[in-house]
Amino acid sequence: MRAFTLPLLLLLGGCAFNPFNYRHPDRPRYVGSYAEAPVSPAEPVFSVATFNFQFAYGRNKAIALELLGSAPFLQADAIAMQEVDSITVRDFAEKLRRNYVYYPAMLHTKTDREFGNAVLSRWPIQNDWKLLLPHLKPTNSQRIAVGVDLDFGGTSVRVYSVHLSTIQAVGKRVDQARTILHDTFANCPKLVVVMGDFNSLLDRSQVAEAFEVGEFRWVTRDIGSTTKGLLHGPLDHVFTWGFNAPTRLEKIETSASDHMALFAELPVSEPRQQTRPCPSLEDKG
C-alpha cells in the first residue's frame, strides 16, 4: 500500500517535497499597468473570467496566448489566473492591455519557476494583497489567494484569485475557504467576486457552504466538470456578493491546460449604492 500511495501523492500534487514557499505577506509582488484610460461602463454588468493555466510555459503558454485573444477574455473586466509565473503574467497583461498584480506562492520544484495567482483588470487597481492560506499540503507547498480592489467606473469591486490545496483533508480545505471569506468582509466592500481553482473534488458542497454562510451566491453550482484527466470534476468556481444571477455563464475548453476557463457576466444588484452589511462570522463557523 505504501509503495502505491507515495507515487500517487506525487502525481496528484504535481511537485516534489520541500518546495521554496514565499511566506512573506507582501512579497514577492509584481505589478504592471497596460490598460488604456477607462471609461464608465455603459451597463452595470461586471464580466469575469478565471483559468488555471497549468504552469503556462512552452507549448501551453503559446496555446494560452491564443485563448486570451478570444472574445470572453477580451471582454472580461477582471481575469483571475492560477499556476502562472511573473514573466507569463506580464506577457498576458501586455497582450490583453490590462493592469495586473501577481504574487507567487512558491518556487515550484517541478518547473523551477514561480507558481502563484494573478488578477488582470481593464480597471484601475486601487489596492492589492496576498492572503496566505492555512495548512501546507503534504508536499509542504503553500497555497494563497490574491485580492484586489478595483475602481469599476467609480464603484469599488473586490476580486480574489483563489487556488486551494489539491491533496488536503476536507476540513482543512474548508478552513482555507473560510480564511478567504473572513477577508472579504474587511472594510465592507459592496461588490465581491471570489473565483479560481478550489480543488474541491470530494468536498465541493462543504467548501461552497463556507461562502454561502456569508450570503455569497454560488454562481457555478450547476457548471459541471471543469477539468480533464485524473481529477475530473467541478474544481473551478465563482462566488459573488452584491451581484444578481449571471446573464451569461460558460466553460471554455482548451488544450493549454487540464482545466477549463470560466466566463461570467454579472449584473450589479440594485440599488448600486447599497451598503454591504458586515456581520460577525464568529457564530457561523
Give me the chain's average pLDDT, please.
86
DSSP secondary structure letters along 200-258:
-SS-HHHHHHHHHTTT-EETTTT----B-STT-S--EEEEEESB-S-SEEEEE--TT-S
Quote the cell numbers at residue 251: 466553460
Structural domains in the chain (count): 1
Query: Residue 140: what pLDDT?
Result: 80
Query: Residue 19: what pLDDT?
Result: 81
pLDDT tens figures, 208-240: 999 999 999 999 999 999 888 776 788 999 999
Pick from 149, 95, 128, 164: nearest CA to 28 = 128
Please state which of the ranges 87-91, 251-255, 275-279 shows the lowest mean pLDDT.
275-279
Query: Residue 17: what pLDDT?
Result: 55
User: Would you tell me the crossing angle of helices 204-212 and 170-184 to the nearest 10 degrees?
Assistant: 20
CATH number assigned to the domain comprising residue 31: 3.60.10.10
Domain of 26, in residue numbers? 2-284
Report the C-alpha gap between 244 and 275 in whole angstroms.
15
Does the predicted TM-score (pTM) go above 0.85?
Answer: yes
